[in-house]
Amino acid sequence: MLAYYVVKFFSWIMCVAPKCLRNLTAAILGGIAVVATPKWRMQMAAANIQECLGVDKARAQQIAEKSLRRFGRMVVEVMRFPLLNKDNITKLVNVEGLEYLEEAYKQNKGVIIATGHFGNWELLGATIALHGYPMLSITRKQNNKYMDRFINEYREMVGQKVAYNRGEHGLLAISRILKEKKLLGVLYDQDTNDDGVDLKLFGKDSIIPLGAAALSRIYGSPVLPCFIHNSEEGGCTVKIYPPLYTPKSKDREKDFYDVTQELVVILEHEIISHPEMWFWVHDRWKDGRERFAVRK
């Protein structure tokens, strides 16, 4: 419980602190993230970057470190959620392709926002919700119940609803939000150990969650790939892609495969364009510990 109130106090400090102090805090937190991350994860991240992007070892290590350091900024941005509202969000986050969201929402079939652990995905959800689009975010329950309480409170204060990705209540919430013709946010870049589509991600065998494609097929909802990028000036830009739709042919597996493949192509494009924005230290291919942690 103490940790909850400590983080709340830290949030208050970030809300009143001048920009120079916030930037310093973000840099310190980013440095701590680099130092605190197990060595094998940094080795894994650099190796995966080399394999996926074809860069040399020095550049791979640089990208891996930058992808961790950005978490300091991400934390500071989330701590400032109490200051966000519909009047100031456009000054902080520029949205490209908002017309795709507007048109998709008008179809009255619900909208599936498909993104990844890329940039500040928490701020992405807040941005869409504060533009006036009711949104349910599917998330993993945190191990620490007080930190889980904190982050869910902050998601809800910017207009999002939250459901966990496990259990009956999560499935009911997903069905309800699409039946009510609202927005559903899903992350599709990691292997969740559930049913998925066998695809190549940067040429590596991968299982990609089929949730977005399956829900689109069931409800006829458009799938909008969305990604958020940091800008050097301190703001962010959200990029919304044109909608995808899962057809209802006789070959359901092919329908899932084709749409999920399109999502993978978009994800690869985003990562290639801004590699430091992706969460490389996650063991995406489930082989990192075996490859690097057991080394002497």
238 three-state secondary structure? strand
Q: What is the pLDDT of residue 296?
A: 46
Please name the residue ranges forming H helices in 158-278: 168-179, 211-219, 252-273
Chunked in runs of 10, what are the mean pLDDT values of the chain (296 residues)?
Answer: 91 97 97 96 96 97 96 96 96 96 94 95 95 86 84 92 69 79 90 82 94 93 96 88 96 96 97 96 91 69
Alpha-carbon gap, residue 173 to 161, rounded angstroms: 9
Q: What is the pLDDT of residue 167?
A: 56
Q: What is the pLDDT of residue 231?
A: 83
Alpha-carbon gap, residue 247 to 250, rounded angstroms: 9
**Largest Cα span, the chain:** 59
What is the number of structural domains in the chain?
1
Torsion of CA 101, 106, 109, 114, to 10 degrees: 0
Interior/surface letters 156-187, b for 16+ CB within 10 angstroms, e for the rest: eebbbbbbebeeeebeebbeebbeeebbbbbb
Say if strands 183-187 and 135-139 run parallel, antiparallel, or are unpaired. Answer: parallel
Q: What is the pLDDT of residue 195?
A: 74
- Return all residues near 227 (Cβ < 8 A) that are at least 6 apart: 115, 116, 118, 119, 124, 238, 239, 270, 277
Please classify residue 16 by burial: count the beta carbons closer than 10 Å to its beta carbon, then call 0-12 exposed, 13-18 middle and 19+ buried: exposed
Please classify residue 195 by burial: count the beta carbons closer than 10 Å to its beta carbon, then call 0-12 exposed, 13-18 middle and 19+ buried: exposed
CA angle in degrees (0–180, nearest 5) for 285-276-3: 80
Q: What is the pLDDT of residue 295?
A: 56
Alpha-carbon gap, residue 231 to 70, rounded angstroms: 11
Alpha-carbon gap, residue 43 to 28, rounded angstroms: 22
Please name the residue ranges forming H helices in the chain: 2-16, 19-36, 39-53, 57-79, 89-92, 98-106, 121-130, 145-157, 168-179, 211-219, 252-273, 288
Say if strands 183-187 and 204-209 run parallel, antiparallel, or are unpaired. Answer: unpaired
Say if strands 160-164 and 236-240 run parallel, antiparallel, or are unpaired. Answer: unpaired
Q: What is the pLDDT of residue 146?
A: 82
CB 165 within 8 A of CB 139: yes
Q: What is the pLDDT of residue 253?
A: 94
- Return all residues near 276 (Cβ < 8 A) that are at least 6 apart: 63, 66, 67, 70
For residue 203, the enclosing domain spans 2-293
Q: What is the pLDDT of residue 161?
A: 87
